[in-house]
């Protein structure tokens, strides 16, 4: 018993020493007065656990964080992409967090555009190398080429990336993400995950330049998406779909709930989705369908959603997407059908849905 008390005392002393050693570092243009001249200089000097608080100003620089710290902004703290970007591997990012660092990014404005055409700026914030990042109350904008192009780069936030063998984890809350080129938030690859809550994610609106996605969970990644507003992702030629939320071969168990998803080509697009929960979302004004389950999407639960005003179907399920539950949804004023299932009867479990039109008997109560 005496030994355990001694150990407990040692742990308390060590914890107190760690708390006491944490410092707050200031940054202002030109430095002076004990402040660093750039955010990166403060990061380089910081010890794990420190907080960096820049003064309100525009900082034209790229940021790399590979240690545990907090970067805490305020109104008017802008991190602007410089005219010449330094790549990390094959990509360019304004803020990159790696090396398994635990980092908080809060109350910052992170903005592009890139310095030139195709491929000039890939990410506003990139989380990789096993890092775990809290991204809270930020404005992320203009993550795109200059001019806005049809190249497949320009994501506001990227967590993990299969193409580079990178994984990451993030909590993404209360951010405004707009004027990006390809996607607002992408969580990609086995081992990557994110909790995405209360964000306002706005695409370019109808555009013939590129097909956009608001939130993408893909290639084995997982996520919880709750109470986000996702709007204005429309590819005006209509040959492919922009999406509000894209599940592309996502990991099992993605949870999409209580989101407001308006004015996209497709509200929620599930391709080879499995065990997802799509519940209590409000989806309106889709150019094509409100909710799609396609390409062998199985064991998904689509429950208690309100889907209205779609140009085609409220909920559409293609051949081979089976063993899904579609229950207690309210489907109204969708142009072709409120409910459409191309599988044989009983391949999916439809129950207690309220519709005004339907593609075949048995889908709506």
Query: What would the pLDDT profile of 219-235 be if each residue is shown by its tens digit?
Result: 999 999 999 999 999 99
% of residues, the chain, pLDDT over 70: 95
pLDDT of 14 higher than 60: no
Rounded mean pLDDT, 48-55: 98
Q: What is the pLDDT of residue 357?
A: 85
Please give the Cα distance from 339 to 358 (Å, whole number): 5
- CA–CA distance from 208 to each of 212, 217, 236, 359 (Å)? 11, 24, 5, 31
- Contact status, residue 48 vs residue 69, Cβ threshold 8 Å: yes
Given this model, what pLDDT does residue 360 score?
Answer: 82
Q: Judge whether residue 19 has pLDDT over 90.
A: no
State residue 21's pLDDT score. 77
Q: CA–CA separation, 275 vs 252, rounded Å?
A: 5
pLDDT at 13: 41
User: Quick check: 27 and 52 in contact, CB under 8 A?
Assistant: yes
Comparing 95-109, 175-189, 237-251, 348-362, the range with the smallest average pLDDT is 348-362
Residue 358: pLDDT band (50, 70, 90) is confident
Looking from the CA of 365 toward its CB, the CA atoms found within 13 Å total: 10
Provide the mean pLDDT of the chain. Answer: 94
Confidence band for 11, pLDDT divided at 50, 70 and 90 = very low
What pTM did the predictor assign? 0.94
Instruction: Name the pLDDT band for 286 (thresholds 50, 70, 90).
Output: very high
The pLDDT, as a whole number, for residue 241 is: 97
3-state SS, residue 162 = helix
Nearest partner of 31 among 59, 50, 51, judged by Cα = 59
**C-alpha–C-alpha distance, residues 136 and 194, integer Å:** 13
Name which residue leads in pLDDT, 216 or 16. Answer: 216
HSE, side-chain direction, 13 A CA sphere, residue 238: 6
Torsional class of 100: left (φ above 0), alpha (ψ -120 to 50), beta (otherwise): left
Identify the pLDDT of residue 179: 98
Of 317, 303, 206, 185, whose CA–CA distance to 264 is shortest?
206
**Secondary structure (3-state) at 7:** helix
Look at strands 277-279 and 168-173 and give their pairing. unpaired
3-state helix, strand and coil shares in percent for the chain, rounded to the nearest 5: 10, 45, 45
- pLDDT at site 324: 98
pLDDT at 8 (0 to 100): 36
- Under the banding of pLDDT at 50, 70 and 90, the label for residue 9 is very low
């Amino acid at each position: 018993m005496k030994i355990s008390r001694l150990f407990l005392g040692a742990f308390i002393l060590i914890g107190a020493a760690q708390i006491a050693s944490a410092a707050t570092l200031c940054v202002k243009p030109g430095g002076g007065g004990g402040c660093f001249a750039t955010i990166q200089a403060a990061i380089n000097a910081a010890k794990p656990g420190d907080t960096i608080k820049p003064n309100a100003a525009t900082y034209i620089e790229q940021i790399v964080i590979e240690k545990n710290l907090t970067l805490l902004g305020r109104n008017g703290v802008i991190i602007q992409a410089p005219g010449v970007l330094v790549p990390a591997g094959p990509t360019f990012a304004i803020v990159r967090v790696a090396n398994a660092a635990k980092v908080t990014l809060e109350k910052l404005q992170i903005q592009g555009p890139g310095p030139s055409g195709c491929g000039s700026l890939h990410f506003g914030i990139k989380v990789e190398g096993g890092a775990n990042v809290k991204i809270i109350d930020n404005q992320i904008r203009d993550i795109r080429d200059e001019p806005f192009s049809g190249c497949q780069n320009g994501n506001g936030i990227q967590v993990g990336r299969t193409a580079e063998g990178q994984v990451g984890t993030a909590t993404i809350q209360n951010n405004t993400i707009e004027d990006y080129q390809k996607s607002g938030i992408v969580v990609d690859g086995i081992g990557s995950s994110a909790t995405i809550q209360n964000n306002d994610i706005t695409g370019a609106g109808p555009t013939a330049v590129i097909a956009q996605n608001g939130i993408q969970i893909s290639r084995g990644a997982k996520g919880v998406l709750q109470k986000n507003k996702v709007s204005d992702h429309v590819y005006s030629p209509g040959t492919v779909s922009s999406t509000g939320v894209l599940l592309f071969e996502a990991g099992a168990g993605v949870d999409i709930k209580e989101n407001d998803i308006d004015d996209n080509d497709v509200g929620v697009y599930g391709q080879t989705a499995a065990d997802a929960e799509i519940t209590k979302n409000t989806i309106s004004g889709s150019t094509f369908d409100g909710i799609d389950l396609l390409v062998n999407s199985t064991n998904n639960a689509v429950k208690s959603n309100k889907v209205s005003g779609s140009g085609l179907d409220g909920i559409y399920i293609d051949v081979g997407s089976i063993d899904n539950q579609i229950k207690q949804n309210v489907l109204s004023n969708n142009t072709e059908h409120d409910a459409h299932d191309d599988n044989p009867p009983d391949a999916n479990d439809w129950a207690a849905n309220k519709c005004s039109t339907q593609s075949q008997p048995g889908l709506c109560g």
